[in-house]
Chain A
Amino acid sequence: MPSDNGFDAGAGPKGLKLVPRSDTQYKMKDFKSDQEVRWCPGCGDYAILAAFQGFLPELGVPRENIVIVSGIGCSSRFPYYLSTYGMHSIHGRAPAIATGLAASRPDLSVWVITGDGDGLSIGGNHLIHALRRNVNINVLLFNNRIYGLTKGQYSPTSEAGKITKSSPMGSLDSPFNPVSLALGAEAGFVARTVDSDRKHVTSVLRAAADYEGASFVEIYQNCPIFNDDAFEPLKDPAERDTRLLRMEHGEPLRVGADRGVVRGDYGELTVADIADVGEDRLVRHDVHRPDPGYAFALSRLDYPAFDHVPIGVFRDVARPTYDELMNEQIADAKADQGSGELSSLLHSGDTWTVN
């Protein structure tokens, strides 16, 4: 039974079942650090930070048991602005660092903050492996479709042909779809949200925290300096309702009032006018489908041109978590062989005595 904070009463988020519960009733301000926030005016990172700080009290976890690990990029400055433990590490490596921390400390709530460059170019390898292992971490990828910190080169999510400082004649790269990539990497929890919709960001963070294992959240984030309005069609009040596909588990998938998602002949999903296909043919969203094919098909709806962009949870499927399996092996080994004894280890194998 969900309680006020949206998590199961008393127990808190399932993804944090090994983390102690807090008696303190935290407020948003308890999670603000004393450091001045230094993003450019209007940067989408502000909104995400505010949503995150506002959400943390809901976790019901002692502040000292929360750790934010980030890479390098504008977005990766995040940990400095939170009053939790944190590590601002090196470019792309946050998932690896967080893996060591989370696997050795199941009593922590570990959050990875990364960017589209940090998480998908230099750190792409670590990201996919953390997802497939299902380490108990939450990965928030701030996707502004540009390298912000290095002043505006194209990123692995920039659209092909994009003109930037490093691509004056247009970028030759085809972009990644981060959600498709995460699904391909066997992620058990994959979601997407938009920086400007605080309520939606919060609901997705809640679902991510509730997942046991690696949750992956792509957050569309505006960079007003180097890639302004990259997501404008999704924000413009006149357009957004005809473009945003708000996914709700168990509900038919609708785009605005008149259109909805139907299955095509080859398992793909397409958007059709409800008047043409009828209400009954609309696909009902199911985040728990074991086969990732459905979620993958959903993730392909937004390409190429943001015509209808799914936001919300694509996939939420239970898988064994890496840290629990690791700790289980240790417990099993201890049960089997007893707790290790150094002297007998050193004396194992063939020994002989000299008098």
Chain B
Amino acid sequence: MTKQVEQLDRVIIRFAGDSGDGMQLTGDRFTQETASFGNDLSTLPNFPAEIRAPAGTLPGVSSFQLHFADHDIMTPGDAPNVLVAMNPAALKANLEDLPHGATIIVNTDEFTKRNLAKVGYGSDPLGDGSLSEFKVSPVPLTSMTVKALEDFDISKKDAQRAKNMFALGLLSWMYNRPTEGTHGFLKSKFAGKPEILAANLAAFQAGWNFGETTEDFAVSYEVKPASLPSGTYRNITGNLAISYGLIAGSRLSGLPLFLGSYPITPASDILHELSKHKHFGIRTFQAEDEIAGVGAALGAAFGGSLGVTTTSGPGMVLKGETLGLAVMTELPLVVVDVQRAGPSTGMPTKTEQADLLLAMFGRNGESPIPVLAPQSPSDCFDIAIEATRIATKYRTPVIVLSDGYLANGSEPWRIPDTSTLPDLSVTFTTEPNGDDGAFLPYRRDPETLARPWAVPGTPGLEHRIGGIEKSDGTGNISYSPANHDLMVNSRQAKVDGIAQDIPELEVDDPTGDARVLVLGWGGTYGSIGAAVRRVRRAGGAVAQAHLRHLNPFPANLGEVLRSYDRVLVPEINLGQLALLLRGRFLVDVIGYTKVRGLPFKAEELAGVVQEVIDRAE
């Protein structure tokens, strides 16, 4: 039977199931297939912090949303066109996000009385007409998988567990995805278990065949590859991109990488990733806590390594005192804070941007630290290199504010030609710099205001550093009022001066006559960009700019702010950048904030932008 193939320009699919159903893996595989097919894409994994909440309950639902298109896109999409619901909980938890007419593929085997009752369904939604506004495709996924695997010498449980591969096969057929990648993936994942491998391959194929043969699915869809700039691509998450960027930073600076870290969601994957690459000379140290993680990284930096520490909010707070020591000792250090919803433990797996003021000011005394924020998963690579550059050139800790959305979300990344990456090579001081042949560890470079980096093992430059105020030049302990004033101002001037060494803020204003500017920072770039596109398509004039450097700000920021009638600042916090902008530039920016643990929806933001435009008129 030949089936009809319908062309689409974009699709948003959400896979949802119980935490134990393998939805993240299924989503990830579908993403890889989609990436290798050449679509542009963006993903949004969403999972509970509990490893296995009670099976079949609403808190246990884990989902993975993927937006893919034949053109370039900026977000994982607001509302799914297709929901794959592996059980009643997954249906119930996700239903409210579905637009009218969306397709729902449900695993009917799980719609038992007991499972329905568990999530408070009084009657079966598959039979009571409550889903009439959707296109529902009921599929007995579990039993069909078990049936397909009858002849395999595996337990019933293992057979049932392969149902996610059946679902993946079915969806892969529906959207004409290439399958070699998944075959290869399964082969390496189950290399030591030939029976399980064969079963998973068979379940995947059975899902595909089911789509092809059953009358229930009359149409399959095609989303043509996007026309992306030429080059070699891979799909990449923010955490992986940060890891690769740090390794690149180590290579480009010629410094061995030392990571001191303590596991914490959503930052742990950076520790996991870097631990895999010891052949790059990388040392990873899983410390007893975050204080020791940053302490060890600083100790390694004193010894001439690229010291790195990675964490999330609660760990960031613990590192504060050591960051102050790094400011005082003026040693390079890269600090990655993958922000999550706070305060306290907050919502570990949900995203937020509320550590900006912590990064800026969360230390005792005047303690300036450069702050950077990546704007997309792939930008995490460039930001990690930029952090290395600033840290080593200016001999300062640098804080990178990633977030849970960037960390776990993914997009295609054009792999850079490594020969085009900047040269960050570092020269340690090996000769005395004093007029009388003495070594002055706090004599600053007149241009960068950085102090010399002389590492232990260098003869003749023995010196002592520490957290007590330093005498300018000699670095000896000093309690002199004038010296303290000088040193506080010098440390600030050093960080402020970096503004001359970073790109100016670029504004995207295609018509050139916009009176409203939308200014964001970090992980909201995609949502703001998508919202701005919507507004422009509807005829609105709006300018967009996005900050990757938050301390210091780009040199032209004040001028940019003042050239618009209205400046809208959307943030996933209660207005932290807005506070900085008002304080710094006396510009009455308009904040728009939501802290739901999720990225902004483009549609919602577009409405806000339009409203500000309307009011400006």
B38 touches A64 (CB 8 A): no
B256 CB to nearest chain A CB (Å): 7
Residues of B within 8 A of A336 (CB): 279
Q: Is A326 interfacial (CB-CB < 8 Å)?
A: yes
Question: B465 to A64, Cβ gap below 8 A?
Answer: no
The reply to whether A354 and B229 form a contact with Cβ atoms under 8 Å apart is yes
Flag if B299 contacts A101 (CB, 8 Å): yes
Contact partner of B287 (CB less than 8 A), chosen from A96, A334, A343, is: A96
CA–CA, A65 to B467, complex, Å? 22
What is the predominant secondary structure among interface residues of chain B facing chain A?
mixed
Contacts of A355 in B (CB 8 A): 230
- The stretch that binds B, out of A85-93, A213-221, A248-256, A284-292, is A85-93
Chain B contacts of A129 at CB under 8 A? 287-288, 292
* 12 more CB-based (< 8 A) A-B contacts, given A66-B456, A346-B244: A72-B467, A85-B463, A87-B466, A104-B258, A104-B299, A104-B305, A125-B288, A334-B279, A340-B279, A340-B281, A346-B234, A350-B32
CB distance from A118 to the nearest CB of B (A): 13
Q: How many angstroms between the C-alpha atoms of A354 and B70 in the bound complex?
A: 13
Cβ-based interface call for A126 (8 A): yes
A69 in contact with B458 given A89-B325, A93-B322, A346-B418 (CB within 8 Å): no
On whether the beta carbons of B304 and A105 are closer than 8 Å, the reply is: yes
CA–CA, A101 and B285, complex, Å: 12
**A interface footprint on B92-104 (CB within 8 Å = 1, 0 otherwise):** 0000000000000
The residues of A that contact B229 with a CB separation of less than 8 Å are 354
B321 interface residue, CB < 8 Å from A? yes
Chain B residues with CB under 8 A of A107:
457
User: Is B464 in contact with chain A by the CB < 8 A criterion?
Assistant: yes
Q: Which residue of A lies closest to B292 (CB)?
A: A96
A85: which B residues are within 8 A, CB to CB? 456, 462-464
Closest CB in chain A relative to B56 CB, distance in Å? 33
**Given A88-B465, A329-B278: A350 and B297 interface contact (C-beta under 8 Å):** no
Of A100, A125, A346, the contact of B289 (CB 8 Å cutoff): A125
> Chain A residues near B463 (CB, 8 Å)?
85-86
Q: What sequence of 0s and 1s flags, for each residue 448-466 of chain B, a beta carbon within 8 Å of any chain A beta carbon?
A: 0000000011111111111
> Is A25 part of the binding interface, using a Cβ–Cβ cutoff of 8 Å?
no
Are A88 and B296 also in contact (CB < 8 A) when A64-B459, A101-B302 are? Answer: no
CB of A303 closer than 8 Å to a CB of B: no
A353 to B458, CA, bound (A): 48
Closest to B477 in A: A80
Q: Name the residue on A nearest B287 (C-beta).
A: A96
B252-308, CB < 8 A from A? 256, 258, 260, 277-283, 285, 287-289, 291-292, 295-305, 307
- Chain A residues near B38 (CB, 8 Å)? 352, 354
Cβ of A62 < 8 Å from any Cβ of B?
yes
Within 8 A of B (CB), among A95-118: 96-105, 107-108
Residues of A near B467 (CB, < 8 A) are 72, 88-90
CB of A343 within 8 A of CB of B418, answer yes
Kindly state the separation between the CA atoms of A33 and B304 in the bound complex, as whole angstroms.
23
With most chain A CB atoms within 10 A of its CB, the pick from B227, B228, B230, B292 is: B292
Could you list 14 examples of A-B contacts with CB < 8 Å? A64-B456, A93-B322, A97-B295, A99-B296, A100-B298, A100-B299, A100-B305, A104-B258, A104-B283, A104-B299, A340-B279, A345-B244, A346-B415, A352-B232
Q: Would A354 and B292 count as touching, CB distance under 8 A?
A: no
Query: Which of B256, B464, B465 is within 8 Å of A104, CB to CB?
Result: B256
Q: Is A50 an interface residue (CB 8 A)?
A: no
